[in-house]
Amino acid sequence: MIETVNREAIVEMLREGVVRVKFTKKDGDIRDMKCTLLSSHIPQDKQPKGTAGPIDESVVRVYDVVPEGWRSFVLANVISVETE
């Protein structure tokens, strides 16, 4: 796993384009996800609506561009982060 995961750096990368995030899921499986927070890559009907509740700084919520849906990952479980 990455020794130090910088939440702000990952979120900034996600806001700029598609990012490949590899992480360990809760069940122990490895997930390789292409995701983003860039609104031009998120369909209009899937755009965030309103404000979210309290933010859990240990989790990042992202739009997964392959199955086209919102997902999240725990920062402590991140193995790698790469820009596309």
pLDDT mean across residues, the chain: 91
In 10 A of CB 17, how many CB atoms? 13
Paired tokens of 43: 């369909």
Does pLDDT of 31 surpass 90?
A: yes
Which burial class, exposed, middle or buried, applies to 53 when counting CB atoms under 10 A from its CB (0-12, 13-18, 19+)? Answer: exposed
- What pLDDT does 2 receive? 52
Query: Of 8-12, 50-54, 60-64, 73-77, which gets the smallest average pLDDT?
Result: 50-54
Q: Which domains does the chain have, with CATH numbers?
A: 7-83 (2.30.30)
Mean pLDDT of 32-50: 93
Paired tokens of 6: 């910088």
Query: Of 1-10, 31-40, 47-56, which gets the smallest average pLDDT?
Result: 1-10
Amino acid at position 50, single letter: G
